[in-house]
Structure 1
Amino acid sequence: MVEPKTKIISTNSRKNNLNIFSRVNREKGAYFFTLPGNIVLLITAIFPVLYSFYLSFFNMNVYHFSNFSFVGLEQYKKVFSQLDVGFFTILIRTIVWTIVNLLLQVILALFLALLLNVKDLKGKGIYRTILILPWAIPSYISALIWKGMFNYDFGVINIALKSIGLRGVEWLNNPICAFFACVIVNVWMATPFMMIVILGGLQSIDTELYEAAKIDGATPWDSFKNITIPLLKPVMFPAVVLTAFITFKQFDIIYLITEGMGGKTDLIITYAYNTFKTNNYSLSAAFSIVIFLILVGLTIGNMKFLKEKK
């Protein structure tokens, strides 16, 4: 006689519960030692997210700080419909920012890594040290230095342009110029990380593969296309994904150089902060939750993609 399916499922669930409790009881020492870290994680990461989610359903601001009231989804409606420049405008700008930065970083990093991987290149250590410096310098210091360099009147970039007979560029007054100025700074700062990753991948490729391809009559381009790029993909993909996430939620460069220019150069994260500065805490919380959900969605999509690829 075959047992009912529901009975089998319930029996399996009880076994799983017993396994969980027995595993916790068996490894309680490990759970005890990780408890302080879990408490810190709860206080610094999980609680702020939960509190922001709670706050987004109220109207807490500088005028209703102690006796704010429940308003339901009103703050989320404002996020998507009542912002000065539009949520989707800022989201598209953030996506464009991420794609442009990622493409420039990968192309420039690949070019530099290929140069540093030349066998007979002298002074490799010096070149590597110089090229890694932008990544090693704290981002806020680099952003403030570049902000001074982009100054229209006394910035070194406009002085250099004027010295060769060109007109100075209003880097920090024109939204489009300010956006590309921030792209230049971010590419300058982030490219060394990608370069080091690619250089490590290049040095792990067996040189005998290139020698065999050369014997078979392959051109340098053929070797690059059929050997270098395929063997670099497993190394580059995690770095590209990590860089994409960091670039998508970039804050310091945009804010320190332009402060958003009233929404004209804002990314999604800087606009959320500027919303917070207006003392509308609930609207800022709703904005933060939307950003959080976008990042969660991207993370889940990336995990599924990696799983399917494996």
Structure 2
Amino acid sequence: MKRGKKKAWFYSMPFLIIVGLMIVVPLLYTVEISFTNMSIYHWKDYHCVGLDNYKKALLAFDSGFLPAFLRTLLWTVSSMALQLIFGFFVAVGLNAKGLKLRRVYKTLLIVPWAMPAYVSILLWRMGIFNTEFGLFNQILKQIGGKTVNFLSTSGMAFISCLVVNLWLGVPYMFTMMDGAMQSIDRNIYESAELDGAGFWKKHFYVTIPQILPILMPVIIMATFTAFKQFDIVYLMTMQTGSKTGADINTVITYVYEKAFITSNYGYSSAVAFIVFVIILVLYKTMNRREFSISEQ
């Protein structure tokens, strides 16, 4: 038995070393400099400042972290709600009886997921939301309306980014839901229909309970993806040389801004570690919820 354990450790050692070098060491270094005033001005002569960086992030509202955190929560909840609702109804539609060209529809609907995110985001920014020649403003001009600068105000920019995130996220969500729905025994639906269940009751009492245990890992993954979303917010409103003026910083773009624009490495490391702890707690909570649903 002991010999087998030694052999297992021997074979696992290269992987553990790689994990240590790529994850554990950078994490420990981040924690170390989070207690310092390291910045571009104190690159070599930095010193320990204790918990000042953490106090600034968590207790000073004008530091920008707390508004960014609250906005991230709103972003995550809104993104997940929209993706679940749209993904569910698209999957229900694709599983409707008598639907022809089902595979064609699935192929077309999965195109946004297949496209590189960078390309999709810039297409939305320049081709759809652009003030001068974007599709939405061209339609408004044709019907006599005024042009709208979708990305200049925080509210409109936030909604516009949600639309882009919905476009990118729904294909994955409906694909997972479609697979889960196809695993449901059709006899259950027939029994529900015989009992007088209509469209809403049938899906609320049959479909959702049946697919929820299968979807929980998908929901957890999509939640973390939304929480740490960077490219949509950055490319739509914050890209260097083409900032729109909207302030919709999330915690991830906030960390990026403090680390690579203002070069305040000590403070940005403290914020990054706070975000790491938040994600860890969120993961533990959702994982426990997934386990309880699976047990039921």
Q: TM-score, normalised by structure 2?
A: 0.91
The answer as to whether partners of 1:85 and 1:263 remain within 8 angstroms in 2 is no
Matches of 1:79 and 1:230 in 2, distance apart? Answer: 41
Matches of 1:137 and 1:143 in 2, distance apart? Answer: 10
Aligned to 2:80: 102
The answer as to whether partners of 1:251 and 1:269 remain within 8 angstroms in 2 is yes
**Structure 1 segment 224-303 matched on structure 2, within 5 A:** 224-259=203-238, 264-277=247-260, 278-303=262-287
Q: CA deviation at 1:181?
A: 0.7
Matches of 2:103 and 2:113 in 1, distance apart? Answer: 16
Match of 1:187 among 150, 166, 169: 166
Question: Unaligned stretches of 5+ in structure 1?
Answer: 1-21
The answer as to whether partners of 2:121 and 2:232 remain within 8 angstroms in 1 is yes
Q: CA deviation at 1:118?
A: 1.7
One-letter code aligned to 2:189:
Y
Q: CA deviation at 1:263?
A: 7.8
Matches of 1:254 and 1:75 in 2, distance apart? Answer: 25
Q: CA deviation at 1:26?
A: 2.2
Q: What whole-Å deviation, never above 9, does each CA across 1:262-310 have from its counterpart, x for those lacking one? A: 7820001100100112111111101101100111111122233334443
Matches of 2:20 and 2:286 in 1, distance apart? Answer: 25
Aligned to 1:173: 152
Q: CA deviation at 1:206?
A: 0.9
The answer as to whether partners of 1:101 and 1:247 remain within 8 angstroms in 2 is yes
Question: Unaligned stretches of 5+ in structure 2?
Answer: none
Q: CA deviation at 1:100?
A: 0.8
**Structure 1 segment 206-225 matched on structure 2, within 5 A:** 206-225=185-204
Matches of 2:257 and 2:103 in 1, distance apart? Answer: 43
Q: Residues 226 and 125 (structure 1 numbering): CA distance in 2 closer, same or farther, change over 3 Å?
A: same
> How well do the aligned residues superpose, as a CA RMSD in angstroms?
1.9
Q: CA deviation at 1:84?
A: 4.3
Aligned to 1:200: 179
User: Is the deviation greater in 67-76 or in 78-87?
Assistant: 78-87
Q: CA deviation at 1:153?
A: 1.1
Question: Which protein shows a greater Rg?
Answer: 1
Matches of 2:43 and 2:245 in 1, distance apart? Answer: 25
The answer as to whether partners of 2:80 and 2:222 remain within 8 angstroms in 1 is yes
Q: TM-score, normalised by structure 1?
A: 0.87
Question: Is 1:62 aligned to 2:40, yes or no?
Answer: yes
One-letter code aligned to 1:160:
I
Q: CA deviation at 1:31?
A: 2.2
Q: What whole-Å deviation, never above 9, does each CA across 1:47-90 have from its counterpart, x for those lacking one? A: 11111000001111111111211111111122224564632211
Aligned to 2:108: 130
Q: Residues 222 and 303 (structure 1 numbering): CA distance in 2 closer, same or farther, change over 3 Å?
A: closer
Q: Residues 221 and 179 (structure 1 numbering): CA distance in 2 closer, same or farther, change over 3 Å?
A: closer
Matches of 2:146 and 2:281 in 1, distance apart? Answer: 45
Q: Residues 223 and 199 (structure 1 numbering): CA distance in 2 closer, same or farther, change over 3 Å?
A: same
Matches of 2:199 and 2:119 in 1, distance apart? Answer: 41
User: Kindly, what percent of the aligned residue pairs are identical?
Assistant: 38
One-letter code aligned to 1:107:
I
One-letter code aligned to 2:161:
C
One-letter code aligned to 2:282:
L
